[in-house]
Amino acid sequence: MNSKDLPPLNPLHVFDVAARVGSFAQAAVELNVTQSAVSRQIATLEGSLGIRLFERGRRGLTLTNAGNAYWREVAPAFAMIAAATQRVKRDVRLEPLRIRIYATFAMKWLIKRLPDFEAQFPGITVQMSTIVTPVNFARENVDLAIQLGRADGQKAELIELFPDIIQPVCSPKLLKKKPIATLDDLRHHRLLHSHYRRNDWSDWLSATGRTDLLKDQDNYYPNSLLAYEAAAKGIGVAIGQVQLLGDDFADGTLVPLFDRPIDRGLAYYAAWSKEREPDRKVRVFVSWLRRNISESITAVRAS
């Protein structure tokens, strides 16, 4: 098929609607244009084809013989296009939103809020993976990633969600056994470290000028979730990602210490491929994510 054999497609669509409803006025309503715009489009198509498609008489609008024969062949094509479009839209709705996310972010923030997202957007199913390594959108079937880092030098489109702010946290039960009023009191407690955030304690203590408080007998855990769980059980003091622990602070599982939060100069970002525009599922989820994160940050600051 040569594109030169095709008529102007917008006038052809107008012709299909006008022939189906039998009225330029009704076609204008369906197409959300003026009746004169419909007339111009039909005139353009008739000029392109070199035939009259409609007879305009006292009794209204009727198709000519040539117009009727043409419409009978054109109408099924538009019906097929409409059906194909509906199938594509349906398939897109059925495809899950694939998210790469850190396990700590998922457990401490996202999962408990997912029911709210699903209630607002019942047609979108969220499918999560919790691999720690950065996502490669060119090689992996991932729509959206939530990652920690810096904005510069990234190979993805980014929207900042919140800064990486850290602060020591512990269980209220631990404070009853061994109060922690000053930094020196940390000497009497085990410091709990996460493998994937192994520099948090040294960064925080460097910022406070007390790297001497790092000890060989500190406890190390495979991830932050386990470090927070150990802190909640009273085993020691962990470094908390403040923005992820608002619910723990609110229910008294953990309490922040010293009122000296440190911004590490990193941030959590929502990231997606530079090679393609984010689809509706990604846009909807990111918008919901940012709105809810803003609310949770406000709650943390107020607590």
Do 233 and 171 form a contact (C-beta atoms < 8 A)? yes
Task: Convert the pLDDT of each residue in 102-144 to its tens digit.
Answer: 999 999 999 999 999 999 988 889 999 988 888 888 888 899 9
Do 221 and 213 form a contact (C-beta atoms < 8 A)? no
pLDDT < 70 stretches in the chain = 1-3, 89-94, 153, 299-303
Place of tokens 């991830």: 223
SS3 category, 229: helix
Buried-exposed string 62-94: b where 16+ CB fall within 10 A, e elsewhere = ebeeebeebbeebeeebeeeeeeeeeeeeeeee
Place of tokens 């909640």: 232
SS3 category, 194: strand
Model's pTM, two decimal places? Answer: 0.67
Phi, psi angle pair for 161, to nearest 5°: -100, -50
Chain mean position to CA 208: 36
Task: Convert the pLDDT of each residue in 212-251 to its tens digit.
Answer: 998 877 889 999 999 999 999 999 999 999 999 999 999 9
Question: Comparing C-alpha atoms, which of 225, 239, 223, 262 is closest to residue 190?
Answer: 239
Place of tokens 């959206």: 144
Radius of gyration of the chain (CA): 31
The tokens describing 89, both together, are 């839209």
